[in-house]
Amino acid sequence: VIGNWKMNGCLERNASLLAELRSMSCADRVDVVVCPPFPFISQAKDVLSGSAVSVGAQNLSSFKDGAYTGEVSGSMLLDLGCSWVIVGHSERRSVFGETDHVVATKVALALELGLKPILCVGETLAQREAGEAEAVVQAQLDGVLAVVGAALASDIVVAYEPVWAIGTGRTATPDQAEVMHAFIRAHLERSGVAAQKVKILYGGSVTAANASLLFVKPDIDGALVGGASLVAESFSLICAAAAAI
């Protein structure tokens, strides 16, 4: 269960949220990761040190180092103690123009550095209504597979986040999500990836109320949680739901 804080938080508020997450009892039975904005990564590492909760980042540069003003490299994230990084979130693709090629470069760089990439894929509402959801997701996966190769791709965590379900309160139904997750796993398998090893997370309006219904599905291995990850009680309940299953 991964919390994507997006561009939210401040030192004071983070301190109480992180302190509550630190004491979560289920974190030894489920992989729990929080991804704060870059400036708060050290704070999260400090408060969570010695706990079972890991820290990740929301993005990394597609360049290794050098004259790239405003960028944050993967090796800096490692230096700060991050072990995970979200790549290709739909907000990065749509607001910041990240192409499949940039996303693939970032995934490859993360893998090379030993950061675990969480690759986000997902279709827009228009694409779903046009019957293109699977083709869109397949193209997003193929862009990465072409650069990374099937052998290394089993180390990627895939997050299926239908764009129409992000921050809208409109979750994909567990059946809709499962159909896409099964498609993703089958496509990875067809592409020569050890797909049973790959964790496929669902993201998009996951709450404490709907998490269990999603987690019981065989191909839904966890969740990438936005809004609900900013509230300790909600995030803890989602983690507990995963641990229970």
> Which are the catalytic amino acids?
89, 161
Kindly tell me which of 150 and 213 has the beta carbon lying closer to ligand 13P.
Answer: 213
Ranked by CB distance to ligand 13P, the top (closest) residue is 226
Backbone angles phi, psi at 34, to 5 degrees: -115, 140
204 binds ligand 13P, rule: CB under 6 A: yes
225 binds ligand 13P, rule: CB under 6 A: yes
Nearest distance from residue 149's CB to ligand 13P, in Å?
26
Nearest distance from residue 72's CB to ligand 13P, in Å?
18
Give the torsion sign (CA, 168, 204, 238, 213).
positive
222 binds ligand 13P, rule: CB under 6 A: no
Task: Name the residue with tokens 């299953």.
Answer: 245
Nearest distance from residue 159's CB to ligand 13P, in Å?
7
Kindly tell me which of 8 and 75 has the beta carbon lying closer to ligand 13P.
Answer: 8
Kindly tell me which of 143 and 203 has the beta carbon lying closer to ligand 13P.
Answer: 203
- Which range in 68-76, 176-184, 199-207, 211-219 contacts ligand 13P by CB under 6 A? 199-207
180 binds ligand 13P, rule: CB under 6 A: no
88 binds ligand 13P, rule: CB under 6 A: no
123 binds ligand 13P, rule: CB under 6 A: no
- Which range in 25-33, 77-85, 146-154, 225-233 contacts ligand 13P by CB under 6 A? 225-233
226 binds ligand 13P, rule: CB under 6 A: yes
205 binds ligand 13P, rule: CB under 6 A: yes
CA 59 to chain centre: 10
CA 1/CA 144 separation, integer angstroms: 23
166 binds ligand 13P, rule: CB under 6 A: yes
Q: Which of 73, 201, 227, 239 binds ligand 13P (CB under 6 A)?
A: 227
Kindly tell me which of 25 and 173 has the beta carbon lying closer to ligand 13P.
Answer: 173
- Give the 3-state DSSP-derived string for the chain, with helices as H, strands as E and coil as C: CEEECCCCCCHHHHHHHHHHHHCCHHHHCCCEEEECCHHHHHHHHHHHCCCCEEEEECCCCCCCCCCCCCCCCHHHHHHCCCCEEEECCHHHHHHCCCCHHHHHHHHHHHHHHCCEEEEEECCCHHHHHCCCHHHHHHHHHHHHHHHHCHHHHCCCEEEECCHHHCCCCCCCCHHHHHHHHHHHHHHHHHCCCCHHHCCEEEECCCCCCCHHHHHCCCCCCEEEECHHHHCHHHHHHHHHHHHHC
Residues at the site binding ligand 13P, with contacts judged by CB under 6 A: 4, 89, 161, 166-167, 203-206, 224-228
